[in-house]
A = this chain, B = another copy of it.
Amino acid sequence: MIEEKENIQFELTNELIEKVELLVTHNEDKELKLLLKEFHYADVAEILDELDLDDSIYVIKLLDSETTSDILTELDEDIREKVLENLSAKEIAEEVEELDTDDAADIIAELPEERQAEVISRIEDEEHREEITELLTYDKDTAGSLMAKELVKVYETWTVAGCLRRIRSQAKEVTRVHSIYVVDKEEKLIGRLSLKDLIVAKSEQKIAEISNSNVDYVNINDDVEDVAKVMVKYDLEAIPVIDDKHTLLGRITIDDIVDVLKEEADKDYQLAAGITQDVEADDSILELTRARLPWLFLGLVGGIGAFLIMKNFDDLFNEYVILFLFTPLIAAMAGNVGVQSSAIIVQGLANDDVKGSINNRLIKEMFLAALNGIILAIFLFLFVWIYKNDIYTALAISVSLVVVIIVAGIIGTFVPLFLDKRGIDPAIATGPFITTSNDIFGILIYFWIAKLILGI
């Protein structure tokens, strides 16, 4: 029976953590096992993330490796690293033995190089060991790095009945059967069928008759982001991976793709906010500084640049000091417009939505920026006019604003498109990068236009 739960979500309370800590302190192993058995391994991992390292290791050593292997895959990366440091090669090998090849390879890849070989040599199941060794050879960010070797494979010449019999044994090793892949005698992928097809078919039919030859697949060297795009676009839950000779090598499942998408989104979001490297709110001050300081330094250099530009226009000090008081406004508008236009382009590029020529984009952004700029400039004009009662100064400042906004929009549009053409991740172009360059350009253009209009 399903117990009545108030909330679908597991809630990590301080009481729960304290309870676990208390049980660990008093070595109440039986109680502890009983308590943790209640929870999904992903929830146990959340609990362990909050415990002291020693307590976490205690729990990991206490539970059987079937459970702890899954918990390990869900632990926070920093914590997992420390836990693994405290396990022997044999203990890690036992954990890895329980995992699917892809998760096993991920864990081993995180170990220091000298330990990797030691752990691998301790894996008892020879097939598992060979498969993990194979997976470790694929480059990060390729389909191979996400692939698992576990899959259900049938030969085209089998009958449905024979196939059902044989996959009964294969299926035991595969947690979830998404698709059954059909291969020819040279192990080349030639089709797929679902368990449903198999159940619905008559038992004497040949696999070749009921299999679907229209099977999506990816190459072992394809970029993970491309794999994600294909799986999302075609709503696939698993996709087979082949090599250049069409040999079936493994499969990628959607849960790994969800993680890829999440990491990608998080990375882009952080870049837009001026944070490099993958950091979390709970990371140390030093790690956070490393991720944030470079972008702030860029801002500092930009601010000094703005200072030097303004210094250069110091002949305006006496009569037009008001111009200087609007520089933060100009810088802010240039920065905001730049970030807006670059964000739309970066997102469009990520979603493959940006078609057509760069020129058309730039012309469109010019009109858009001009429209926004004119509306904003009218307000600024009225404010300055009423405040200073000087129509020329008001005109100079507001016309400059329009030009600054147009240029900011063009820079914001052009830079990510340019970076993308050059094969550089356009996401670095949003945030501080655009803001800083637009601050400098904006202030320069602003004084230059204002001087022109005021006829100085």
Segment at the interface with B among A89-97, A120-128, A264-272: A264-272
Given A199-B168, A274-B339, A296-B337, check contact A332 B269 (CB 8 Å).
Answer: no
Report B-chain residues with C-beta under 8 Å of the C-beta of A258.
Answer: 232, 254, 257-258, 261
Any chain B CB within 8 A of the CB of A297? yes
| Whole-angstrom CA separation of A292 from B342 in the bound complex | 12
| Whole-angstrom CA separation of A400 from B324 in the bound complex | 20
Segment at the interface with B among A106-114, A129-137, A431-439: A431-439
Segment at the interface with B among A19-27, A61-69, A277-285, A418-426: A277-285
User: Which residues of chain A from 176 to 233 have any CB-CB distance to chain B below 8 Å in the complex?
Assistant: 176-177, 189-190, 194-196, 198-200, 213, 215-219, 222, 226-227, 229-230, 232-233
Any chain B CB within 8 A of the CB of A18? no
Q: Are B40 and A343 in contact (CB under 8 A)?
A: no
Q: Which of B200, B333, B340 sits near A171, CB closer than 8 Å?
A: B200
Q: Are B300 and A380 in contact (CB under 8 A)?
A: yes
Any chain B CB within 8 A of the CB of A410? no
Q: Which of B172, B270, B275, B439 sits near A200, CB closer than 8 Å?
A: B172
| Whole-angstrom CA separation of A234 from B273 in the bound complex | 30
Any chain B CB within 8 A of the CB of A361? yes
Segment at the interface with B among A52-60, A78-86, A371-379, A448-456: A371-379
This chain: how many copies in the complex?
A: 2
Q: Are B189 and A199 in contact (CB under 8 A)?
A: no
Q: Are A296 and B177 in contact (CB under 8 A)?
A: no
Given A237-B254, A270-B343, check contact A295 B336 (CB 8 Å).
Answer: yes
| Whole-angstrom CA separation of A144 from B2 in the bound complex | 21
| Whole-angstrom CA separation of A329 from B344 in the bound complex | 26
Any chain B CB within 8 A of the CB of A35? no
Given A307-B326, A364-B285, check contact A2 B190 (CB 8 Å).
Answer: yes
Any chain B CB within 8 A of the CB of A389? no
Given A269-B347, A270-B343, A300-B376, check contact A226 B293 (CB 8 Å).
Answer: no
Q: Are B344 and A275 in contact (CB under 8 A)?
A: yes
Q: Report A319 CB to chain B, min CB distance, Å.
A: 13
| Whole-angstrom CA separation of A215 from B1 in the bound complex | 10
Q: Which of B218, B288, B302, B331 sits near A8, CB closer than 8 Å?
A: B218
Report B-chain residues with C-beta under 8 Å of the C-beta of A296.
Answer: 333, 336-337, 340, 372, 376
Q: Report A159 CB to chain B, min CB distance, Å.
A: 15
User: Which residues of chain A from 223 to 261 have any CB-CB distance to chain B below 8 Å in the complex?
Assistant: 226-227, 229-230, 232-235, 237, 246, 254-255, 257-258, 261
Q: Are B328 and A281 in contact (CB under 8 A)?
A: no
Can you name 30 A-B pairs with beta carbons within 8 Å?
Answer: A2-B215, A2-B217, A8-B219, A8-B226, A9-B226, A42-B234, A168-B200, A237-B237, A266-B347, A269-B272, A270-B347, A272-B273, A273-B342, A273-B343, A273-B344, A275-B343, A280-B347, A281-B361, A282-B348, A282-B354, A289-B368, A289-B371, A295-B336, A296-B340, A299-B329, A302-B329, A303-B328, A304-B383, A328-B331, A331-B332
Not counting A274-B343, A289-B372, A296-B337, a sample of 13 additional A-B residue pairs whose C-beta atoms are within 8 angstroms of each other reads A171-B196, A177-B194, A195-B199, A232-B255, A254-B254, A272-B273, A282-B353, A292-B340, A293-B372, A299-B332, A328-B331, A328-B443, A331-B332
Q: Closest 5 interchain pairs by CB?
A: A303-B329, A273-B343, A265-B265, A281-B348, A306-B328
